[in-house]
Homo-oligomer: A and B are copies of this chain.
Amino acid sequence: MKEKEEIKRICREVIERIRPDEEERRKVKAVTDLIIAKINKKASEMGMEANAISVGSTARNTWISGEADIDIFIMFPVDVPEEDLKEKGLALAKSISDRYEERYASHPYIHAYFYDAEGRTEHEADLVPCFSVKNASALKSAVDRTPFHNEYVRKRIPGLEEEVLLLKQFLKSSGIYGSEQRRKGFSGYLCELLILKYSSFAELLRHASNWKHGERIDIEGRGKYKGEDPLIVIDPVDANRNVAAAVSLDSFCRLIDSARDFLACPDASFFALAKKKEMSRAEFVKRIKERGTELVMVLFEAPDEVEDILFPQLRKAESSIAKLIERNGFMVYRSDVSVEGNKAFLVFELLVWTLPQVKKHVGPPVTSKYHSEQFKSKYKPISFRKRIENGRYVVEVKRNYTDVVELLKNELRSCSLGKHVSESIDRGYEVLRNEELRFFEGLGSFFRDYFCVANSF
């Protein structure tokens, strides 16, 4: 009982800190309304049957103070040809922006800047053209689903917005908020659904602390999804979709772990963001010396692609290179990948990074006459070192690589690396170890996280 009170007290405190005040809410609404009005006016001038709506956390009052992302979807009738939607939709969005960038997620969209009287950026917004489909199962593309999500949540969330804010802040603090490939955590929409399911932040944590692998949440009870993800949350607007498909096993487990820890010892620190102090090069060298491991980095220019395409390729490369390393007899202790600024890199921390010249090559069983003859004729030049161990021929051969850096310098291209990573590596890459690492922008925070891990532990 006392702990429940304590949780309530902490949550009230946190809410005061992260809830947007009246002023912020008013401002966001005013900007949003203004942009929508501009789009609708322009559309009618251009003779287009388009209708702009506000979606996302700012449309549902579930954004954390200071982090308002204004998302405007420009809805076109389904009979508009796809090419027209892309062309005219983007043209419309561009025409009302003071400045813009064309971006791409599953579909192209416009990131728009709006200036103040002095010509400085005052507001930003994402402007996304989409089709106004009849229902979420008649999608023409993934973005068409968003207005349905918006409607579903907007109707049900009022009164629970603060619980959503608490959950988002809690996840941010654990480093697992956001469904992007770099993080593989919990999206904003997923947070809202979890709160709709359990009605409060604290109640969600109580359930999460008992979650099992494959946990299934189906608010509408109509789920048809058959996948085997760690967490399955059926999309209320699309019974075939798992909203939590992007949540990795480890993100899933980190929520469970943090939930248990918080319920056992409620503390405001569970909502604090990690200190952003970077690790210095000197600290890094000291740390690596203490550990006694060898840290080897494969460094190259970050391919000009969005992170959600890049990170899966980097992780594929990581696993393929780790296999190369272990196949050659070395031992990987840990590995990780990242993109910081214009650099992409893979890091391998090794338990064994040098090996003796000599290598045992195990041949066929002696009793297998045919294979024995093949083997003996193949290894004739070194047959004076041939011996029998456990009924098999054994020869000693010279190891191809006695040092892991040499291996990576020569054999990296034989790994399956993914298209863009592979192309960038073909243009050149470095393999650096321990003190050879140069501390470019962002590497200090990467190693802070690598060595210290999130503060939820």
Is B391 a contact partner of A230 (Cβ separation < 8 A)? yes
Q: Which residue of B lies closest to A264 (CB)?
A: B373
Give the chain B neighbours of A383 by CB distance below 8 A.
457
Return the contact of A357 from the options B256, B291, B452 (Cβ within 8 A).
B291
Is A292 a contact of B367 with CB atoms below 8 Å? no
**Chain A 157-176: CB-based contact to B (< 8 A → 1; otherwise 0):** 00000000000000000000
A38 close to chain B: CB less than 8 A: no
| Residue A30 interfacial (CB < 8 Å) | no
Once A210-B369, A256-B367, A367-B211 are accepted as A-B contacts, the answer to whether A358 and B291 lie under 8 Å apart by CB is yes
Asked if A329 CB lies within 8 Å of chain B CBs, one says yes
1/0 contact string of A349-373 vs chain B (CB within 8 Å): 0011001111010000111010011
Asked if B290 contacts A357 (CB within 8 A), the reply is: yes
Determine the residue in chain B with the shortest Cβ distance to A358.
Answer: B291
Flag if B356 contacts A254 (CB, 8 Å).
no
User: What distance in Å separates the Cβ of A425 from its nearest Cβ neighbour in chain B?
Assistant: 26
Q: How far is the CB of A144 from chain B (nearest CB, A)?
A: 34
Is A388's CB within 8 Å of the partner chain B? yes
Contacts of A384 in B (CB 8 A): 452, 457
Q: Is the interface of A mostly helix, strand, loop or mixed?
A: mixed
Copies in the complex: 2
Q: Is A385 in the interface zone, CB < 8 Å from B?
A: yes
**Least CB distance, A255 to chain B, in whole angstroms:** 9
Docked CA distance A249–B230 (Å)? 49
- Is A140 part of the contact surface with B, judged by Cβ < 8 Å? no
A99 within 8 A of B: no
Which one, B212, B292, B357, B388, contacts A253 given CB within 8 A? Answer: B388
Tell me whether A220 is interfacial, beta carbon within 8 Å: no
If A360-B333, A390-B249 touch, whether A385 touches B453 (CB-CB below 8 Å) is yes
Q: Shortest CB–CB separation between residue A294 and chain B, in angstroms?
A: 8
Q: List A residues 359-409 near B (Cβ within 8 Å).
A: 360, 365-367, 369, 372-373, 383-391, 393, 402
A200 within 8 A of B: no
A257 at the interface (CB under 8 A from B): yes
A203 located at the interface, meaning its Cβ lies under 8 Å from any Cβ of chain B in the complex: no
Question: In the assembly, what is the distance between CA of A383 and CA of B389, in Å?
Answer: 45
How distant is the Cα of A457 from the Cα of B293 in the complex, in angstroms?
Answer: 41
Question: B357 and A387: CB pair below 8 A?
Answer: no
Task: State whether B391 touches A250 (Cβ < 8 A).
Answer: yes
| B residues near A358, Cβ cutoff 8 Å | 290-293, 333
Distance of A357 Cα from B365 Cα, bound (Å): 39
By beta carbon, the residue of chain B nearest A353 is B356
Q: Please, which residues of chain B bring their CB within 8 A of the CB of A367?
A: 211-213, 253, 256
Is A260's beta carbon under 8 Å from chain B? yes
Shortest A337–chain B CB gap in Å is 15
Query: Quick check: B209 and A391 within 8 Å, CB to CB?
Result: no
Contact check, B351 vs A333: say whether CB atoms are below 8 A apart: no
Docked CA distance A402–B253 (Å): 32
Considering only CB atoms, which chain B residue lies closest to A291 in the complex? B358
Would you list which residues of chain A between 416 and 448 have a CB under 8 Å from chain B?
none
CB neighbours (8 Å) of A355 from chain B are: 292, 351-352
B329 touches A388 (CB 8 A): no
| A402 to chain B: closest residue by CB | B292
Question: Given that A391-B213, A453-B386, A457-B384 are known contacts, is A253 also in contact with B366, CB under 8 Å in the complex?
Answer: yes
Those 5 A-B pairs whose CB atoms lie nearest each other, nearest first = A292-B356, A253-B366, A291-B358, A292-B357, A293-B356
5 contacting pairs across A/B (C-beta < 8 A) = A212-B367, A230-B391, A250-B389, A290-B358, A293-B358
- Known contacts A250-B390, A253-B367, A386-B453, then 10 further A-B pairs from the complex at CB < 8 Å, ordered by chain A residue: A210-B369, A250-B388, A257-B393, A260-B373, A292-B355, A292-B358, A293-B358, A333-B360, A383-B457, A385-B453
